Amino acid sequence: MRVRDLPLSAAVIDHFESRGIEELYPPQAAAVEAGVCEGRRLVAAVPTASGKTFVATLAMLTADGPGLYIVPLRALAREKYETFSALPGVSVGISTGDFDERATELGDHDIVVATSEKVDSAIRNGADWIADLACVVVDEVHLVGSEGRGPTLEVTLATLGRRAPGVQIVALSATVANPDELADWLDAGLVQSTWRPVDLRTGVYAAGRVGFDSEASKTPRAAGDDGTERDVSVPGDPADATDATDALVTEAVDDGGQALAFVRSRREAETLAERLAAADLGSSPEVADEIRGLDGTETGRRLADCVEGGVAFHHAGLRSAHRVAVERAFRDRELKAICATPTLAAGVNVPARRVVVRDQKRYTGSGMEWLPTLEVHQMCGRAGRPHLDPYGEAVLVGDETTRDELWERYVEAGPERVDSKLADPNALRTHVLSVVASDFAASREGVLDVLDATFFAHGTPTSELGGVVDTAIADLVEMGMIVDEDGLAATDLGAQVSRQYVTPETGARVVDGLRTATGMATVTGLTALEIVCDTPDMQDTYLGNRERADMYQFAQDHADEFTTRMGETEDFEGWLTAVKTARVLYEWTEGASAEDLVERFRIGPGDLESRIERAEWLLGAADAIASVVDADAAVPFRERRARL
DNA sequence: AGCGCCCCAATCTAGACAGCATGTC
DNA sequence: CTAGATTGGGGCGCT
């Protein structure tokens, strides 16, 4: 099937053909046969980089009206925004928390790219552009199975069907065990394929040898490759995972390729990058200068030093500007290798010839746990750059004792199932409130009726949700966010909480803080920050053992400014970490430099950045909540927010 | 006394979405 | 319930 035979404008066909895209990939052709161009709903469960974006483009351009492209990450939103903007004669808008356009203008575009939470928020607040949508593409739908954000996605898709009846839904999924159930739920056709534009070989390394899967026999082999097993010369100890990783990365780079190494922790990513950079895999002085120019942070300097040697590290402790610079430089082949934590597994397109997964376990608070198959598959899926590499190679580093288990778990095993997490009481409380506050339902039955369109209800009779919904309603009534007389209705507080997009628990914490503050003699900026940081919507900041005593002292010194009495908390540890976050942000608003804070509180520059951003949102929300709460305390939320 | 090394024990551990309404150099 | 890398300090021996 050829691009020129598709029902697209001549300009768009030229656009694709000028980029060498003439023939459809098999999964794309299957999508066309399944009717993507005729408004048919579709679930496409195919590997990354097998042309999902093209299928999405087809659906949105052939739909009879505007299209919405939902992504899970801001970085992805930006990437897709740029991709779609390159299409001739297509107007594209973007809506994420950090980059927003006026809602009225969003309706003017042919395509809008947005994060799932932003769409949820738009639906809750009755944005009118939602009702006009003809096509909605959901990227990474398998995330409905993720604990925190999955319920939001499924409720969004369920309510979207109400606001825009008859929309074409095109859901793009990683390969999972039960894509048919997703398709059933969305009343969509299913296209399933494992086809990739570049072959992928997955192998397990142990004791100086890599054993590859049977895919290898289908591909032309590198010189010296004698079959499905290959020796790797490891300078150092072949039994040492880091020495082996070093050798595997170096080998790929010497061979003219690029490599991606995945490790467990941030620190290990940095250590490995420094080690590889010391061996000088290449040099990128311009990129190093670019990174050095971003900030005067210790982390930034170390990153720039590594980049001098052609290697970068990548994790969430980096500022987003650092991450963007590293990703761009790697894509433009100005870097030879990236050592990363799992940040890079999902997200923006950063393909490499070889992927080395050194660590397959992760600390979870109660010990080490194997990474989910899907996550490791996503890491491995980064191997193979179309048009640049003859094939992609992914190597899991193990030893004789783990070889077989790695093989079974990640090479042979199929992917995991996706299952709804909506039954979680916290998730349900949030969504029951939003359904009531946005007038989707005015009774218990109404709520159940809305939830009937969720993935959860598809697998389980809604009656099973009845009990959990009842407790959610009771909780919300007790929190003063809903009244249950003669039907359900949101109170002013409940409406504000839903509109501000904070969880009911956050709203309750703010209300509680305001009440306590009313009786306090000293209410300061620190008070405002303490309330907001003690909220479940604020991410907590790691409190090291060595800092604990100092933080305890700080908490005591400022006890009269806090809405929490030190002796009366159930979760003192949790509160103390909130105090740390509040203290960092307080110093920031009082003029401390990022360099100073990062050093003194042992946090990454990216951690500081994200906390500032979040505090900005939460202080604004707290201020809005304060305006509907009957409390006289003047907590300076707005003043602190202005200082951020 | 000063320095270097080794061993044991303490320390530490991935990621990341979201509001709203204007004045402003 | 399920770990493993890194760091820091103390002790010890050598010069």
| Separation of A14 CA and B7 C1' (Å) | 69
Residue with tokens 């193979």: A384
A124-138 in b/e form (b: 16+ CB < 10 A) is: beebebbeebbbbbb
pLDDT in tens, A530-550: 999 999 999 989 888 888 888
A539 touches strand B (CB under 7 A): yes
Which nucleotide lies nearest residue A121, CA to C1'?
A: B18
Minimum-distance nucleotide, CA of A363 to C1': B13
Cα(A326)–Cα(A343) distance, integer angstroms: 13
Nucleotide C12 C1' to residue A551 CA (A) = 37
CATH 1.20.210.10 describes domain A425-490 = no
Domain regions of chain A by residue span: 3-192, 200-410, 425-490, 504-643
Asked if strand B comes closer than 7 Å to A78 Cβ, the answer is no
Using the CA of A602, give the nucleotide whose C1' is nearest: B12
Phi, psi of A531 (to 5 degrees): -60, -50
**Residue A612 contacts strand B, CB under 7 A:** no
Q: Look at A228-232, A411-415, A470-474, A527-531 and tell me which has the smallest mean pLDDT.
A: A228-232
Query: 3-class SS at A83?
Result: helix
Contact (CB, 8 A) for A636 and A619: no
Asked whether strand B has any atom less than 7 Å from the CB of A115, the reply is yes
Whether any strand B atom is under 7 angstroms from the Cβ of A623: the reply reads: yes
Q: Nearest-CA neighbor of A542 among A262, A261, A146, A265?
A: A265
Report in angstroms the alpha-carbon separations of A555 from A54, A196, A386, A517, A562.
Answer: 55, 56, 55, 17, 8
Is nucleic acid strand B under 7 Å from A624's C-beta? yes
Question: In angstroms, how far is B1 C1' from A599 CA?
Answer: 35
CA A569 / C1′ C15 distance in Å: 58
| Contact in structure between A525 and A643 (CB atoms under 8 Å) | yes
Residues of A (462-481) placing their beta carbon closer than 7 angstroms to any atom of strand B are none
CA distance A478 to A84: 47
pLDDT tens-place string over residues A206-243 = 888 888 876 544 444 444 444 577 888 888 788 888 88
In CATH, what class is A3-192? alpha beta
The string of pLDDT tens digits covering residues A233-282 is 888 788 888 889 999 999 999 998 999 999 999 999 999 999 899 888 88
CA–CA distances in Å: residue A296 to residues A274, A293, A309, A319, A338: 19, 8, 20, 12, 22
Interatomic CA–C1' length for residue A29 and nucleotide B22, angstroms: 49
3-state helix, strand, coil in chain A (%, to 5): 50, 15, 35
* Assigned architecture for domain A504-643: Orthogonal Bundle (1.10)
Return the pLDDT at A222: 47
**Residues 582-611, chain A: which have Cβ under 7 A from strand B?**
602, 610
Give yes or no for CB of A429 within 7 Å of strand B. Answer: no
Q: What is the pLDDT of residue A226?
A: 46
What's the pLDDT score for residue A364?
86
What percent of chain A shows pLDDT beyond 70?
98
The gap between A119 CA and B24 C1' (Å) is: 29
A93 in contact with nucleic chain B (CB within 7 A): no
A392 forms bridges with which residues in the sheet?
A200
Whether A7 has a pLDDT exceeding 70, the answer reads yes
What Å value separates CA A272 and C1' B3?
30
Nucleotide nearest to A607 (CA to C1'): B16
Tell me, in Å, how far CA of A480 is from C1' of B8?
A: 56
Residue A544 CB lies within 7 Å of the nucleic strand B:
yes
Give strand letter and number of the nucleotide nearest A271 (CA to C1'): C6
Distance A636 CA to C2 C1' (A): 46
State whether the beta carbon of A74 lies below 7 angstroms from any atom of strand B. Answer: yes
Give me the pLDDT at residue A218, please. 47
> Which percentage of chain A shows pLDDT scores above 90?
68
Taken in order A377, A354, A268, A149, the sign of the CA dihedral is: negative
Length A365 CA → C1 C1' (Å): 12
Closest residue by Cα to the C1' atom of nucleotide C3?
A368
- d(CA A219, CA A539) in angstroms, rounded, equals 46
Q: In the prediction, which pLDDT does A214 show?
A: 60
Nucleotides of B under 7 A from a protein CB: 10-21
Indicate the average pLDDT of chain A. 90
A15 CB and strand B closer than 7 A:
no
Query: pLDDT for A81-139, tens place per residue?
Result: 999 999 999 999 999 998 888 877 888 899 999 999 999 999 999 898 999 999 999 99
* DSSP characters over A507-557: HHHHHHHHHHHHT-S---HHHHHHHHHTSTTSPP----HHHHHHHHHHHHH
User: Does A556 carry a binding-site annotation?
Assistant: no
Q: Say yes or no: Cβ of A181 under 7 A from any atom of strand B.
A: no
Same topology, domains A3-192 and A200-410? Answer is yes
DSSP β-bridge partners for residue A99: A96
Residues 6+ positions from A93 with CB-CB distance below 8 Å: A101, A105, A106, A108, A109, A111, A112, A113
* Amino acid at position A621, single letter: A
Give CA separation, A585 vs A26, A322, A596, in Å. Answer: 52, 22, 12
Structure tokens at A270: 């940095």
Task: Report the candidate in A379, A321, A374, A319 with the shortest Cα–Cα distance to residue A347.
Answer: A379
**Nucleotide of closest approach to A370 (CA, C1'):** C2
- Give the pLDDT of residue A387: 82
Q: Is the CB of A315 under 7 A from strand B?
A: yes
Q: Residue for token digits 């003439």? A: A22
Give the per-residue pLDDT at A217.
Answer: 45
How far does the CA of A642 sit from the C1' of B23, in Å? 13
- How many Å apart are A487 CA and B18 C1'? 29
Q: Is the CB of A638 under 7 A from strand B?
A: no
Select A200-410's CATH number: 3.30.910.20, 1.10.760.10, 3.30.70.100, 3.40.50.300: 3.40.50.300
Identify the CA nearest to A543 among candidates A615, A602, A592. A602
Query: Which residues, by CB, come closer than 7 Å to strand C?
Result: A 241-242, 267-268, 271, 361, 363-364, 366-369
**Residue closest to sugar C1' of C5 by CA:** A268
Task: State pLDDT tens for residues A301-331.
Answer: 999 999 999 999 999 999 999 999 999 999 9
Enumerate the nucleotides of strand C whose atoms come under 7 Å of any protein CB: 1-7
The reply to whether the CB atom of residue A156 sits less than 7 A from any atom in nucleic acid chain B is no
Query: What are the start-end ranges of the E strands in A189-234?
Result: 189-192, 200-206, 209-212, 229-231
Phi/psi of residue A376, nearest 5 degrees = -65, -40
CA–C1' A585–C5 (A): 31
What is the average per-residue pLDDT within A46-53? 87
Q: What pLDDT does A488 receive? A: 95
Alpha-carbon dihedral angle through residues A611, A616, A617, A619, given to the nearest 10 degrees:
110
Separation between the CA of A612 and the C1’ of B18 (whole angstroms): 14
For the record, the structure tokens of A278 come out as 């010391």
